[in-house]
Every structure is written in C-alpha cells, then in structure tokens.
C-alpha cells in the first residue's frame, strides 16, 4: 500500500494501482524505493516531485518507511510511469552549513543536535543517542546536512546504527548500539535460494601509522601517548597474514588519544579478511506461524550452508523487488564488517594509485 502526501505532509490519497513496488535499505546509508503506475492512472497527478510516500507491505502490514519522489520516467511501450524514491532522510540535503563551523568538547548528542538545528524546516528531531564522545569536528561550506551528520560516529571504536522513525512527525532520528544477539538463520534449502560469498584478503591492514592535523614534522601523531611508537598493530594478524602496513591521515583529529582510538577501530575492522555474502531467499515471516522468521536490516544472523563452517554476519542491506507480485522474495547483503568513510577513502586512494600506475605504464609503452 502506498499513501501519497503533499510536501507539507497533507494526505492526498492511496495509490491503489501501484505495482512493481520495491525498496532497498542499507545500514547507515540513505534508503531508496520505486514503484510504477499505468500511464492513464487518474492519481498520477498526485505524484509530484518531492511529494511524500508511505510504503506499507500489505502482506504483513509492515511499515517499510517514508520516502519522497525524485525522478520519474515514462515508457509508452510499457504503458507505465516509474517513480524513483529516496528516504526522507534526504530532506537534510536541502540545507547547508554556510562558512566555518567548529565543534570542540561537546557530547555526541550536542553535536548531532547542532546539525539538526540548522534545518530550515524542523523535519527531524533527535531521539535516543547511545554514545557520549567528545570528538572535535570541523565543517566548512557543506552542501547539505546529511554528510556532516553521518560523519559524526565515524571515529567511534564500536559499532553503531542510525535508526529512523517516520511513523510520527517530526520524524525521529536515533543513534543506537546494534544488537549483538543472533536473531535467526539463513539456511540453504530452507529460506535461502542463492548464496554468493567473497572472502577478500586484499584489504587486510594490521599495522597503522595514524596522522592527524598539521603538516610535515608538526603533524599530529600518536607517539606522545603510545610509548614513543608511531603505529599500532595486531600481532595475531601479522603472524597469520604477514605484515600489512598503511599510513592513515585524517586531519579532523587534533587530539592524539582520539586519533589513536580511531586508528584502533580501523585496525579492528581491517586486521581480518572481509567476508561478504549476498543471499536471496524467502521471507517466511509472511506465512502464518512463521512470524518469528523475520530477518531485517541490522540483524545478526547465522548463515548455514553445506560443507562450510557457519558464519555469523550482520545484514547490511535488505531489499524486495516486488511487494505486490512477489512479497516473499527478499535479498540480503551480509558481512562481518561495517564499511565506513575511512574504508571508502582508503579504497578510493588505492584505486587512484592503481590508475596512476596504469596511465604511467601506457605512457611508457
């Protein structure tokens, strides 16, 4: 079921003829969705850009989330209009942080609230914040509040999860500790129809040289609080995989202890191979008597396949391609790590280095 609302959240009606309703949820990222209408549907005029859509799974009466309409595309040969949606968290892209903003010696709650206070329209209010950290933040001429907001917990040395409650208004944003309880299983032959696993050792790093604010000999390191040693390492990982070093620079850090804590969080993530799983299966929770088999974004689950050791991994992506036609089909992405901006930056730098080598090689041929 799709309920369409105006930009001011006035309910306009239900889109009874919507089909190909899909959604994708990603842990700690912006969610997306889509649906189609017949070209001649009389309610297509309700679907203006940035109008809001509440998606409810009719099969389970599960509230999926609140999204806003972005592009639409019309196909005459298919007699349909397809609407792309983004989660209303994207309303935080509508504002800016103009000029220079520095936040020092404030709690995580105070820092998040500072960002939310910059909204022109207070669509989002702050709910639970399960962390108290005194990190320093600097922002300058940011187009959008979303990136600064999502960057707040990046330096944490423990797992975190952003949650969104859009069943009320103003919508409620929370930052919580994800549960470490295994809530269920994906088992081959039961609720798993496909299984693809990648074990990637190329991203193993077991010695990190962290650097913070400054330049040259004046650049912040960790020697002053690390017994004069400029790096941290994991000896077990080094013994098993050999030494894999990396210099990691993040000039946001002006405090040596915070710099070291961030490096330790990265080391904990990078010291072992990344295990990524994509599994397609059946959402048994839509069947009577199997409601307990509901597995959703952020859950820890056990993956059981023949001739392999069981893996305990977290659902980092959850999607359904057709809520009306195939409500039981569900796809999960799972892994033993949570990629953050630091991981992304490192991957980008590696790709740039590889591309430079390729270009150099071509020039020398």
Rounded to an integer, the average pLDDT of 172-177 is 96
Q: Are 263 and 232 in contact (CB under 8 A)?
A: yes
Long-range (24+ apart) CB contacts under 8 A made by 244-247 are: 244/204, 244/205, 244/206, 244/207, 245/205, 245/207, 245/208, 245/209, 246/205, 246/207, 246/208, 246/209, 246/270, 246/346, 247/208, 247/209, 247/211
Predicted confidence at residue 208, as pLDDT, reads 96
Predicted confidence at residue 338, as pLDDT, reads 57
* Number of H-type helices and E-type strands within the chain: 5, 21
Categorize the per-residue pLDDT at 361 as very low, low, confident or very high, splitting at 50, 70 and 90: very low
94-176 architecture in CATH?
3-Layer(bab) Sandwich (3.55)
Categorize the per-residue pLDDT at 325 as very low, low, confident or very high, splitting at 50, 70 and 90: confident
274: helix, coil or strand? Answer: strand
Rounded to an integer, the average pLDDT of 56-69 is 92
Categorize the per-residue pLDDT at 182 as very low, low, confident or very high, splitting at 50, 70 and 90: confident
Predicted confidence at residue 203, as pLDDT, reads 83
Percent of the chain beyond pLDDT 90? 54
Predicted confidence at residue 30, as pLDDT, reads 94
Q: Which comes out higher in pLDDT, residue 239 or 365?
A: 239
pLDDT over threshold 50, residue 353: no
38: helix, coil or strand? Answer: strand
Categorize the per-residue pLDDT at 290 as very low, low, confident or very high, splitting at 50, 70 and 90: low
Categorize the per-residue pLDDT at 133 as very low, low, confident or very high, splitting at 50, 70 and 90: confident
As a whole number of angstroms, the distance between CA 339 and CA 341 comes to 7
As a whole number of angstroms, the distance between CA 103 and CA 107 comes to 10
Neighbours of 171 (CB within 10 A): 20
Q: Which comes out higher in pLDDT, residue 24 or 250?
A: 24
pLDDT over threshold 80, residue 190: no
Q: Which comes out higher in pLDDT, residue 200 or 45?
A: 45
pLDDT over threshold 80, residue 232: yes
Predicted confidence at residue 343, as pLDDT, reads 44
Categorize the per-residue pLDDT at 71 as very low, low, confident or very high, splitting at 50, 70 and 90: confident
As a whole number of angstroms, the distance between CA 198 and CA 129 comes to 34
Tokens of 294: 């509901």
Q: Are 91 and 124 in contact (CB under 8 A)?
A: yes
Predicted confidence at residue 337, as pLDDT, reads 64
pLDDT over threshold 60, residue 322: yes
pLDDT over threshold 70, residue 306: yes
Q: By mean pLDDT, which of 147-151, 154-158, 230-234 is the weakest? A: 154-158
């Amino acid at each position: 079921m799709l309920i369409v609302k105006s930009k001011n959240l006035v309910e306009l009606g239900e889109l009874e003829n919507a089909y190909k309703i899909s959604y994708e949820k990603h842990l700690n990222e912006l969610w997306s969705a889509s649906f189609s209408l017949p070209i001649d549907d009389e309610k297509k005029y309700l679907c203006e850009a940035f109008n809001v859509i509440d998606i409810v799974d009719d099969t389970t009466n599960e509230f999926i989330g609140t999204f806003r309409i972005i592009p639409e595309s019309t196909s005459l040969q298919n007699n349909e209009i397809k609407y792309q949606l983004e989660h209303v968290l994207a309303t935080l892209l509508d504002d800016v942080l103009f000029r220079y903003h520095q936040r020092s010696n404030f709690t995580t709650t105070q820092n998040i609230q500072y960002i939310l206070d910059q909204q022109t329209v207070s669509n989002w209010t702050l709910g639970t914040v399960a962390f108290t950290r005194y990190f320093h933040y600097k922002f300058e001429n940011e187009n959008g509040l979303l990136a600064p907001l999502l960057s707040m917990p990046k330096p944490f040395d423990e797992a975190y999860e952003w949650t969104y409650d859009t069943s009320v208004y103003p919508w409620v944003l929370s930052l919580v500790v994800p549960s470490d309880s295994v809530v269920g299983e994906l088992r081959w032959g039961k609720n798993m129809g496909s299984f693809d696993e990648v074990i990637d050792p190329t991203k193993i790093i077991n010695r990190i040289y962290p650097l913070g604010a400054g330049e040259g000999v004046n650049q912040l390191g960790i020697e002053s609080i690390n017994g004069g040693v400029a790096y941290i390492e994991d000896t077990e990982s080094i013994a098993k995989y050999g030494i894999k070093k990396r210099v990691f620079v993040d000039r946001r850090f002006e405090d040596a202890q915070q710099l070291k804590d961030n490096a330790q969080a990265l080391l904990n993530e990078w010291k072992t191979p990344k295990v990524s799983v994509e599994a397609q299966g059946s959402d048994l929770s839509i069947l009577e008597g199997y409601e307990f088999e509901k597995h959703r974004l952020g859950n820890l689950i056990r993956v059981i396949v023949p001739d392999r050791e069981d893996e305990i991994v977290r659902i980092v992506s959850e999607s359904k391609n057709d809520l009306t036609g195939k409500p039981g089909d569900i796809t999960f992405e799972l892994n033993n790590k949570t990629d953050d901006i630091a991981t992304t930056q490192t991957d980008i730098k590696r790709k740039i280095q590889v591309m430079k080598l390729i270009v150099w090689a071509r020039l020398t041929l």
